[in-house]
Amino acid sequence: MRRLAAILAATAAAFAAVAAVPAGERPASAWAYPDHPLAGITGGFGEPTCHSCHFDGPENDPGGSLELLGLPDRLQPGRRYELRIHLRRPGLAAAGFQLSARTPDGLNAGTWHWPDSTIQHLQQNGISYLTHRKAGTDPTGTDRSEWVVHWTAPDSATTVLFHLAANAANGDASEFGDHTYRIGRQASP
List contacts with ligand HEC (CB under 6 A): 31-34, 36, 38, 41, 50, 52-54, 94-98, 137, 165-167, 169-175, 178
What gap in Å lies between CA 63 and CA 55, rounded to an integer? 16
**How do 144-152 and 65-69 pair as beta strands?**
unpaired
Between 160 and 182, CB nearer to ligand HEC: 182
What gap in Å lies between CA 70 and CA 99, rounded to an integer? 14
Between 31 and 105, CB nearer to ligand HEC: 31
Smallest separation, CB 99 to ligand HEC (Å): 9
Closest CA to 89 of 121, 133, 122, 57: 57
Between 5 and 30, CB nearer to ligand HEC: 30
Smallest separation, CB 49 to ligand HEC (Å): 6
Please count the other Cβ atoms lying within 10 Å of the Cβ belonging to residue 188.
Answer: 12
Smallest separation, CB 87 to ligand HEC (Å): 9
Please count the other Cβ atoms lying within 10 Å of the Cβ belonging to residue 148.
Answer: 15
Q: Is 28 exposed, middle or buried (0-12, 13-18, 19+ CB in 10 A)?
A: exposed
Between 135 and 189, CB nearer to ligand HEC: 135
Smallest separation, CB 70 to ligand HEC (Å): 20
